[in-house]
Each structure stands twice: as C-alpha cells, then as structure tokens.
Amino acid sequence: MKTVLRYLKQYYGRMSVGLLIKITGCLLELMLPYILSHVLGNIIGREISEIAFWGGLMILCAGLGCLCNAIANRMAAKVSCDFSEALRKDLFIKTLRLSAAQTDRFTIPSLESRITTDTYHVHNFINRMQRLGVRAPILLLGGITITLFMDAHLSLVMIGILPFLFTAIFLISRKGVPLYAKVQTSVDGMVRVVREDMQGIRVIKALSKADYEHRRYDVVNRALVKDETRAGVIMGGVNPVMTMFMNAGSVAVIALAAVRVSAGTSRPETIIAFMQYFTQISMAMMSVNRMFVMYTKCAASAERIAEVLNAEEDVTVESKESYPDTLSDAHIVFDQVTFSYKGKINNLENISFALSKGGSLGIIGATGSGKSTLIKLLLRFYDVCHGAVYINGEDIRTIAKDRLYGMFGSALQNDFLYADTIEENIRFGRDLTHEEVVRAATIAQADSFITGFADGYGHMLSSHGTNISGGQKQRLLISRAIAACPEILILDDSSSALDYKTDAALRKALSENLQNTTVVTVAQRVSSVKDCDLIIVLSEGRIIGIGSHDVLLSSCEEYREISESQMGGAFVE
C-alpha cells in the first residue's frame, strides 16, 4: 500500500477539503436524533410555532447533510478517477519499459490484468475510503459520544460489543489478502486463455476446435470460481458475525432500556433517540465491514501493481571502462557470443561474425535454431551471457537506449498493426510526411494494393490487421520498418507470406533504395537470403555454415539440402 499512498500525496489537499465537507454532513446527520429527542421531550404540547421551528431545523439539517455528502462524494469520485488515471498511466509506461526478461517473468496476461483489474480494485477502494471510510468512523464515534451524554449506562452496552466486532473483523480479514492475491493469479490464467483464443479465433474455427477451447477455458474458469468462492466464503463470514453481535447488543440495550424506563431513571424519548443512534452505529459498522473486504482486494492488487512499478531496470547502460570500444571497420560484430534464457542450456553458443556498413546478412536455419534469439541480442532485448555485440565499434551495452533503438527499423515475427489508417500504421507516431510514407510503401511493394482501396492510405485497418491478407500485412510492416531510413534494417521472417516474385522484387527494391542501410534478414527460405553478402546457417544455437550463397552450396551440406528441397537449386528472379 506504500505505492498507493505515494500516488495519493498530490491529492491530499483536495481530499482534506472533501473530508471537512464530509465531516460537516455527518455531524448534521448526527444532530437529527438529538433534535428529535428534544422535540419529543420538551416541545410536544407547546405552540405550533415552536414545533414548526424545530421541525424546520430538522429538515434544514437533513437537507444540508444531504448536500454536503453529495458534494463530498463528487469530490471523492474525481480524486479517485484522477488518482487511478495517473496510476494506470505510470503502470502502462513501466510495462512498456520492462526488459524482455522481466516481461517473460511477469507474463503478458498478468501485466494486462494488473493494468485493468488490479487498478480497478485500488480505484474502487480509494473512492469508497473517502466516502464510507470517513462517514463510518464519524457516525460510529459521534454516535457513541452523544449517547454517552444521553445515557451512559445504555452506551456502555454498545461499547462492550465493539471489541468483539473489531477482533472478528481483524482475524477474518487477515486471511483475505493472500486469498484475493490467489484470485488475481487465477484471473491472470483466464486472461491468458481468452487472449490466446481471441488471437487464434480463425484457426479455432477452421479446425473445428471450439469445443476443445471451451473445455480449456472451462478449466481456468472453474479454477477462478474455486478461488473466488474460497475467498468469498472466508470474507463473507464477517457480515454474519457482525450481525450476530449487533443484534445481541440491540437486545441488551432494549432490555436494559425497558428496566431503566420502568425505574424512572431514563425517559422514553431518550430511548427513541438512542435506538436511532444505535441504527446509525450499526450501519457504520456494516460500512466498516465493506471497507475491510475492499481493503483485502485493494491490498492484494496494490502489491501486484507495486511489483511492476518497483521493478528495477535490469538492462542498464554500462560504462566504457567496463566495456571498452573495439577498433573495427565492421558495422556489426558478434564476438564469441553465448546466451541462455534460463541459465541452464545455451540457446546460442560461440556466435562470431562481422558485417560491413551497407552490407546484408542472411540468417537461416530450422525452427528453434536461435535465429530470432540472435536478433533479440542485436536489439539488446537481452544481454549476452558471454562475449560482446558491437555496432560501429561500440559495445551495445554502453549505447544509450534511445540512440541504440533509433538505429533500427524492424519487422519482427508476430509484429502488430493497430486499428487505424494504413498511413498511420506506417508512420507509427513518427514525424514523417505523406511522401515518405508512400516511398516506404513503394519500396516494400505495398503501394499497389494500398492504392487499390477506395480510400487508399486512409483505409482503416482492424486490430491486428485482420481485414487484409497475410502478405499485405507483412508488406505494411516492412513499410513501417524502412519508413524512417534506419541505419540497420531487421527483417525477421517478415516475407514468409509473400510469393517468390514479390519477394524477389522486394529484395531488389531494398538493394537499390537502401544502399547505406545494413540489412539483416532472418528467413526460412533460401531465396530470401541468397543474395546477401554474408549468410549464417544456424543449428541448435551454433553456426554450422557461414559465407556467401555459392560458398555455402559447396561447403555446408545442410544449406545445400535446404536449397535443393525448396527450389531444386533454381530461383525465381
């Protein structure tokens, strides 16, 4: 909760004003039973003008109390909305800045639920805290204080019940935080399945696997229901226990009041007012109960949010003293690089090569050979375990992130398009002119199909580009990658959906228009990399062949087999 309180600091002034207004409204409510007692005991039987005055005073107190509460509640809603907006904004920004390793650890579904469900729980608690959390204690303490003056004996009966109530609430609520934390973990699991099914809905329908996915969803849904039920049963025990104690207190008060009225030590109008205060105190206790339930959810969610916000940056810019520059004319150098995701099995081992500026590198190999992992190291999504990666002679660990990422244009596997126009998807928030967007689309062989739409570059795409073909989607992603004329262009299996003729035209356009750009191409097809200056063949994280296309045909058996199996040794130009 420390993180939540830190975000609330800037709203303390507004909250204080709302608190004063809320206190005023609650005090006016507390006056009503006392005035009623005075009217019943001292005003009844007098002139109508006096009765009208005190009746009007009660109406005024009720009206002002209602107005104060409405204003305070409105201010509370505004504060909680502004607070949650700031919290969600920082949480979203932090999520985008997490390293790849941290994202893997938290998982995407969990990060999604933290930004949505968890922030909602915190928002709800902050809102209710300013409303019920202020009102309930005032009614509780104010009611007890007034009843002590009215009839101390009856008031002490109520006070005697309170320790039992607070003990029950405390003991039960202590178990609520870990239970609701487990509920949120189950929510993560359900979000993961829903996310996967929504992304793969077409495949599910095509393979008639709706029933299978329904059963898979049913498993996580039942797990969530089980955890929610357990948490609900435990926390649900607070209300019956409170009701039992409050009813016991009510019976004791009524019994004692009857005895005192019979003995003449208390007056009936006092008992009437006293029971109204007892009702207010009971309602206040019920509000306290609801606050504790909401607190358990909020505390569990706040802890999950704090885990992300307080996650220390694990990919930092290192000093030149620790990782000095190297003298090299090459643009990109991998020097004996070894890397492992989990520290057990090397996913890449002893990778070394050098690529000149404006040159082209092709990376080919079977699925799982480490092609995309090599790209992630070049982009510094992860740090190498051993060895070093250099760009222009600088170890990438010493290059500021903005400068490093500014060197790249990339079209990666599982890249995305968002629901906006084609032009905005290519521009991607950068300061690019329409002419630059069109130029990029032309190089990427996308201009012809874009202009085929009635609204051209203003054509709206659906989320993930589901209203265009796979080949069109890939060409738009390549257009985005080359639009800003990057120093290094990375194409990670980004032409797999293109036909051979379009792929050949794309490679030709890239070589003619991006002569000063170093191009790194990851592909499954030999035709996509055969014209590269340098080709690397990967197998199980190791280089088993390196050189030009002609060199590899004669020196690397696996490359030769891939080439012959795909095209029989011939290529479409």
pLDDT at 429 over 50: yes
How many other C-beta atoms are found inside a 10 Å radius of the C-beta of residue 44?
Answer: 11
Phi, psi of 86 (to 5 degrees): -65, -40
Q: Per the structure block, which two tokens stand in for 186? A: 């189950």
Going by the DSSP 8-state scheme, the letter that residue 118 receives in this structure is: I
pLDDT of residue 332: 93
Q: What is the arithmetic mean of pLDDT over 373-400?
A: 92
163-167, 295-299, 504-508: least confident range = 163-167
Place of tokens 């016991």: 248
**pLDDT higher at 109 or 171:** 109
Element (H, E) at 542: strand 542-547
Statement: 2-190+230-309 belongs to CATH 1.20.1560.10 = yes
C-beta neighbour count of 237 within 10 angstroms: 14
d(CA 472, CA 393): 37
Q: How far apart are the first and last CA of the chain?
A: 63
Assess contact for 271 and 109: CB atoms under 8 A.
Answer: no
Give the residue extent of every domain in the chain: 2-190+230-309
* Chain centre to alpha carbon of residue 285: 34
Does the CA dihedral 127-137-231-240 come out positive or negative?
A: negative
- When mean pLDDT is compared over 20-29, 107-116, 181-190, 377-386, the highest value belongs to 377-386
Can you give the pTM of this predicted structure? Answer: 0.72
Greatest mean pLDDT among 39-48, 123-132, 164-173, 303-312 lies in 303-312
348: pLDDT strictly greater than 70: yes
* Average pLDDT for 329-349: 90
Residue 333 has φ and ψ, to the nearest 5°, of -135, 130
Check residue 571 and give its pLDDT.
Answer: 45
DSSP letter for 515, please: T
Q: What is the pLDDT of residues 435-494, one digit of tens each?
A: 999 999 999 999 999 999 999 999 998 887 888 888 889 899 999 999 988 999 999 888
pLDDT at position 569 over 60: no
Query: What are the DSSP calls for 333-369, one per residue?
Result: EEEEEEE-SSSSS-SEEEEEEEE-TT-EEEEEESTTS
Alpha carbon separation from 368 to 8, 309, 373, 525, 538 (Å, rounded): 47, 33, 9, 15, 9
Identify whether the C-beta of residue 257 lies closer than 8 Å to the C-beta of residue 271. yes
Task: Of 190-199, 277-286, 490-499, 510-519, give the range with the top mean pLDDT.
Answer: 510-519
How far, in Å, CA of 242 to CA of 284, rounded?
A: 11
Task: State pLDDT tens for residues 261-298.
Answer: 787 777 777 777 777 777 777 777 777 767 777 777 78
Q: What is the mean pLDDT of residues 370-399?
A: 92
